Amino acid sequence: MAPEAPDQPGEEIVKFGMFKGVLVPTLLTILGVIMYLRLGWVVGNVGLLGAWTIILIAFAITTATTLSMSSIISNIRIGAGGAYSIISRSMGLEIGGSIGMPLYLALALSVALYIFGFRAGLQFLYPGLSSLAIDLAVFALLFVIVFLSTDVAFRIQYLILVVIIGSLISVFAVFPPAPPPYDFVAVPPDISFWMVFAVFFPAATGIMAGANMSGELKDPRRAIPQGTLLAIVVSGAIYLALAWWLAASASPEQLVGDYTFMISGSRWNSVVLAGLLAATFSSALNSLVGASRILHAMGEHAIMPRSSWFSSRTRSGIPRHALLVTGGVVLASLMLRDLNIIAPLITMFFLITYGMINIVILIEQNLQLVSFRPLFRIPRAVPLVGTVGCIFAMFIINPVFSLIALFFVAVLYYVLMSRHLSGGTPYGDVRSSLFVAMAEWAAKKSMALPRTPEKAWRPHLLIPILAPAELRGMSEFIRDVTYPSGSVRILGISMGEERAHLEAGLPSLSREFEEDGIYTKWTMVETDTYADGVVSSIQALKDSFFSPNIIFLRLPEDPRWESDLRSIIGKAADNLMGVLLYAPHPAAGLGRRRRINLWIAGQCLSRPEGLNLPNCDLAILTAYKLAINWEATIRILAPVADPGRAAEVQENLAELVEQTRIPVKEILVEERPFSSALSAAPAADLEIFSLPPAPDFDQIRETIAKTRTSCLFCRDSEQESALI
């Protein structure tokens, strides 16, 4: 079915102002069935002061949330979908969708609950009417009104508002004979103060009724804050006044035992009953309108399958496809006949939404980004009260359903993250800034603590390249050296000719490492010589947080590059950076990646004050990393030119294995010169050696030829230790 095109000639999208689009629907949703049927029960259980306390706590939470929402709206161009739009534009589509879907379901199921409430009031007058017939008739009337015209739906609310005002006049027309007792009534032993709070709190959760219409408001930035806050003030005053009237008009026993006392104790009973029916009808109407708008907004951002179908609307702006689906959800829930068991879950979804709005403003305030310039500023205490209040209310009302709701939201977030929605995000969000702020905070705290780089050491590689092709055949090996906790920074060295090709290839190289689970960054420098570019980068990155601690080089085939490598290796040592010089065998490669020969010269083991490993630490740690990632075995080889030291070296190596805790399968101490030991060494897939300060590249090539294996030469940075 093709989407209906909006904004075509002949019919314009209807836009609403603050009074019609926000104040009236919000006020009517708050002044609902709980006001008529449960407020007296609340007063009867906890007394006037207790009821006022509950009302003030509930409205404090929703007021804080409204103030937070107002501040956010004054900083963004809010789109359709109300709370969904607010959260999506601040925290990303994944979080917005994981909150928006439960909020949509909560609103849709609320329609059924309000219809059940309407039916209960109607059967109070006509007990013989069929319950199912009433439910279906009311639903049909609601659906037709909303389907035909939102403007008509909002005009009907004026009539409903008049009826509710008339019902309140009928109540206050009976003035109590005496003032009420200002005290807490003893709560019955089978119910607590917070249980009473849990029953009342849903009355205060209608604050999003106007915000859900954000896409159809003339000026949502002003209309939503003004209309919602005014609705809270008016409804809060009405609840406080009604609590006073109830406490003065009846005994606690009457109020607890008679849910309909407000009807029977009023001047004109039928008018109050009409107010009850009007309130439930209005709440159902607003919830149906709001739910369809949220579904439509999620469709615009491809949150769900077949999103283009959900995102269509008529020329007058009515999202009829979203309405059809919402109507189906409501109709299905009506057929279940009893939603009381999941009613607390609906409240949880509302509270999670309110809590997230407060969290959004808390994050924005604490990040102190320049982009956060709200016209309406609030103290940090306001969203903090809102956040804590929402969490508190959730677990007071029903801890089990709170956990279920949070789990449901978490699962949705995981599913949406797996769909990679961010690629289509039409606006930025603060998530990356949040993690950057956390990293900056952690970095500052870390820098203030005593530095122990050996304890926290992990391989962070700087890999200079002249062309993307240089990493071919080495990517998997680099991954094995760094995975899982290391990182890679690819340094493109541009000396003029290959700049465009190099710049185009670096992002794809970075993505390949990222796909393998390696945190990777890339950068490019322009320089006259290869060595100058690498050395300048080493010096520039030295004092940065998460700076590279190893430079990864490949043995050049052309000897003319050897002087550059010597210069780089020397400067790396001056800047406390380790070196890995990889020399792949042209035929053998890395073989089956099952055996590693770790060469430790006998003179490297000294014990003036315990076991000492000069320039062996990086070689040992790298061998360990590769053995873990390859599931390989390590063999230690130690050629000893002096036959008299063989036993001492064997003993030292045994202690080395014990103290370094590396998985060594075999220790071979051979009484022969190093050069002859190379030719006689057992076969392996990789040979690891220490790299001297002034490397002899001819000897390195001879080593590769004699071992007939790829080799890795390691030079310590003095910032790592295999003995820790």
Highest mean pLDDT of the ranges 292-296, 433-437, 449-453, 544-548 = 292-296
**CATH, residue 554:** 3.40.50.620
pLDDT value at residue 606? 55
pLDDT, one tens digit per residue, over 626-651 is: 999 999 999 999 998 777 788 888 88
Q: In a 3-state reduction of DSSP, which class is residue 33? A: helix
Q: Tell me, yes or no, if the pTM score tops 0.85.
A: no
Same domain for 639 and 563, yes or no, is: no
- Residue range(s) defining the domain that contains residue 633: 581-724
109 occurs within a structural domain: yes
Dihedral angle of Cα 581, 583, 589, 595, to the nearest 10 degrees: -60
At 503, list the tokens: 């710049």
pLDDT value at residue 432? 61
pLDDT, one tens digit per residue, over 660-672 is: 899 999 999 888 8
Task: Kindly report the backbone phi and psi dihedral angles of residue 525, in degrees, each rounded to the nearest multiple of 5, phi listed first.
Answer: -125, 145
Distance between CA atoms of 350 and 35, rounded to whole angstroms? 19
Same domain for 24 and 80, yes or no, is: yes
Using an 8 Å Cβ cutoff, are 285 and 24 in contact? no
Distance between CA atoms of 571 and 378, rounded to whole angstroms? 53
Same domain for 107 and 46, yes or no, is: yes
- Give every strand in the sheet of 711-715, ordered side by side: 519-526, 487-494, 460-465, 550-554, 578-583, 711-715, 686-690, 595-599, 633-639, 664-670
Same domain for 88 and 235, yes or no, is: yes
Q: Is the pLDDT of residue 687 over 90?
A: yes
Same domain for 275 and 239, yes or no, is: yes
pLDDT, one tens digit per residue, over 383-392 is: 899 999 888 8
Residue 369: which residues within 8 A CB-CB, separation 6 or more?
A: 430, 433
pLDDT value at residue 343? 72
pLDDT band at 97 (very low <50, low <70, confident <90, very high): confident
388 occurs within a structural domain: no
Which residues, listed in sequence order, are joined to residue 597 by a DSSP beta bridge?
635, 687
* End residue of a domain, out of 576, 609, 624: 576
Same domain for 534 and 602, yes or no, is: no
Same domain for 164 and 247, yes or no, is: yes
Task: Kindly report the backbone phi and psi dihedral angles of residue 578, in degrees, each rounded to the nearest multiple of 5, phi listed first.
Answer: -75, 170
387 occurs within a structural domain: no
pLDDT, one tens digit per residue, over 251-268 is: 888 888 888 888 888 888
722 occurs within a structural domain: yes
Distance between CA atoms of 273 and 284, rounded to whole angstroms? 17
Residue with tokens 């709001």: 290
pLDDT value at residue 2? 36
* End residue of a domain, out of 576, 595, 614: 576
pLDDT band at 545 (very low <50, low <70, confident <90, very high): low
Of the given ranges (360-374, 514-528, 695-709), which has the lowest mean pLDDT? 360-374
Residue environment code for 347-370, b if the CB has 16+ CB neighbours within 10 A, otherwise e: bbbbbbbbbbbbbbbbbbbeeeee
* End residue of a domain, out of 543, 576, 609: 576
Task: Kindly report the backbone phi and psi dihedral angles of residue 711, in degrees, each rounded to the nearest multiple of 5, phi listed first.
Answer: -125, 150
Distance between CA atoms of 590 and 578, rounded to whole angstroms? 22
Same domain for 587 and 567, yes or no, is: no
Distance between CA atoms of 467 and 503, rounded to whole angstroms? 9
157 occurs within a structural domain: yes
Instruction: Give me the number of domains the chain comprises.
Output: 3
Same domain for 548 and 621, yes or no, is: no
Distance between CA atoms of 441 and 629, rounded to whole angstroms? 32
Same domain for 522 and 661, yes or no, is: no
370 occurs within a structural domain: no
Sign of CA dihedral 157, 159, 160, 164: positive
Which residues, listed in sequence order, are joined to residue 493 by a DSSP beta bridge?
525
At 710, list the tokens: 């790829």
Using an 8 Å Cβ cutoff, are 215 and 300 in contact? no
Same domain for 337 and 456, yes or no, is: no
DSSP state of 466: S
Q: Is the pLDDT of residue 108 over 70?
A: yes
523 occurs within a structural domain: yes
pLDDT value at residue 497? 66
Same domain for 572 and 598, yes or no, is: no
307-315: long-range pairs with CB below 8 Å, 24+: 308/3, 309/1, 309/3, 311/3, 312/2, 312/3, 312/4, 313/3, 313/4, 313/6, 314/4, 314/6, 314/11, 315/4, 315/5, 315/6, 315/7, 315/8, 315/10, 315/11, 315/12, 315/13
Report DSSP letters for 382-396, one per residue.
Answer: HHHHHHHHHHHHHHH
Cα distances from 308 to residues 179, 500, 521, in angstroms, run 60, 39, 36
Whose CA is closest to 509, among 488, 534, 533? 488
650 occurs within a structural domain: yes
Distance between CA atoms of 372 and 74, rounded to whole angstroms? 10
Q: Is the pLDDT of residue 193 over 70?
A: yes
